[in-house]
Amino acid sequence: MSGLAQPLNVIIGVNGIGMGHSIRQSVIAQYLRDRGHQVGIITNGSTRVEYFRDLGFPAWGGWMPTLLARGDRIHAVDAIRANIRQAPAGVNQHLRLRRIIGETGVPDLFITDYEPNTPRLAYHFGRPLISVDQQSKYRHLDLPPVGQYARTADEQRLRYFTPRVDRSFICSYVPLEATDPRLEFIAPIVPDFVRSAQVTNEPVATAYFSRYFGHGPEDSVRTLANVFRRYVPDRALRIYAHSDEIGTLRQYAEARIEIRPFDRHAFVADLARSDAVFSNAGFNLISEAFVLGKPVHLVPLPTYDQHWCAREVHKAELGTTAPRIDSGSVLHFLNRTRELRANVKRHRNLYLVQDSRERIASYLEALPTTRGRIRRIPFSSVR
């Protein structure tokens, strides 16, 4: 525990949309716990609460307002309409969460990852607030539009969720700079079992496509399977999908083309042995592919975040991107995999080998705290 007289009491707030935020914060939480600190989790959705409880962390549910963009910004009237019915229950849930934390022991500090609960708790209890995410670059850097997408909505959402922080650790798989001393860019947080995976280079491609509101994996899976069936006889293709989508997608399978239910460890094992990766442009999957030295072909979902990620990958020549899966872009990518793989490995060795957990933990442990008030965090839930 780095010679500390007492452990820290830390609560981490996690955005419960998708698994990327939960994976990143679970890695940080386990690292802090291994250093002797007490860690509790606040997230939204019973599935994410149970995910953290299964890892042995006290976890509570919090309210996540719906803040969807129309055009390139969030409009107040849309936010009111989307939340007016759930707001009373959501506010009560947050007040109950505040009471539980006040009664069981106020933590020394709060960490937030793109969610509104821990910032409000930090302000209420007068504790330091640290953000660890990848979205905060859209708030602090003047990043340009990508096609029809602008960072405006992401910046609005961040300012609503977290009006102010004491320090912001911003994960990035490409080098970024800022003059604000409260900002620090760090390498992506990647689980140890990913970094230690046995990496080979076999004639296998791995694919995973997410669902985002009306945008599902069906078209991408159908077209990619057809391209491999007709034009790529020398590679197998493994496509992972959520269990509730397998029944629809299995019609595209054949001897060399497998449709598999998503399993985290099996997916990473295939990622590590593949010579090519197909996906949407989610930050965590891209980061893990690069840590394993794998080039990616990206089809971004309709958000600024995904289009920015895809553009940066393309600019750095670490992979390719296209608006949709089509035979031309797929074959162009496959013809460049050797060149792109060499680029990814060079980039990884320059920018992605740092263990960012140590930097985060050292900063937290150096903060002045009110350790005399530390009390054990119990298993309670707010649903």
- Which tens digits make up the pLDDT trace of 198-213? 999 999 999 999 988 7
User: Which pLDDT score is estimated for 350?
Assistant: 97
> Under a CB-based contact definition with an 8 Å cutoff, are residues 276 and 227 in contact?
no
User: Which pLDDT score is estimated for 71?
Assistant: 84
pTM value?
0.92
User: Which pLDDT score is estimated for 4?
Assistant: 56
- Give the residue from 291, 282, 284, 278 showing the smallest Cα distance to 235: 278
Q: What average pLDDT does this structure show over 362-371?
A: 82
> Under a CB-based contact definition with an 8 Å cutoff, are residues 358 and 22 in contact?
no
| Residue 101 pLDDT > 70 | yes
Q: What structural domains does the chain harbor?
A: 9-187+354-373 (3.40.50.2000), 193-351 (3.40.50.2000)
For residues 12 and 26, what is the distance between their CA atoms, to the nearest angstrom? 9
Which residues have C-beta within 8 Å of that of residue 329, sequence separation ≥ 6?
297, 320, 322
Q: What average pLDDT does this structure show over 313-339?
A: 98
Least confident span in 3-7, 214-218, 235-239:
3-7
User: Which pLDDT score is estimated for 369?
Assistant: 67
Residue showing tokens 């989610």: 282
* Length of the chain in terms of residues written: 383
User: Which pLDDT score is estimated for 3?
Assistant: 52
pLDDT in tens, 33-56: 999 999 999 999 899 999 999 999
Q: What average pLDDT does this structure show over 17-29?
A: 93
3-state secondary structure string, the chain?
CCCCCCCCEEEEEECCCCCHHHHHHHHHHHHHHHCCCEEEEEECCHHHHHHHHHCCCCEEECCCCCCCCECCECCHHHHHHHHCCCHHHHHHHHHHHHHHHHHHCCCCEEEEECCCHHHHHHHHHCCCEEEEECCCHHHHCCCCCECCECCHHHHHHHHHHCCCCCEEEEECCCCCCCCCCCEEEECCCCCHHHHCCCCCCCCEEEEECCCECCECCHHHHHHHHHHHHHHCCCCEEEEEECHHHHHHHHHHCECCEEEEECCHHHHHHHHHHCCEEEECCCHHHHHHHHHCCCCEEECCCCCHHHHHHHHHHHHCCCEEECCCCCHHHHHHHHHCHHHHHHHHHHHHHHHCCCCHHHHHHHHHHHCCCCHHHCCCCCCCCCC
Q: Which tokens go with 88?
A: 């009373």
| Residue 295 pLDDT > 80 | yes
Question: How does residue 382 score in pLDDT terms, banded at 50, 70 and 90?
Answer: very low
pLDDT in tens, 123-152: 999 999 999 999 999 999 999 999 999 999
For residues 250 and 326, what is the distance between their CA atoms, to the nearest angstrom? 20
Residue showing tokens 């002797």: 36
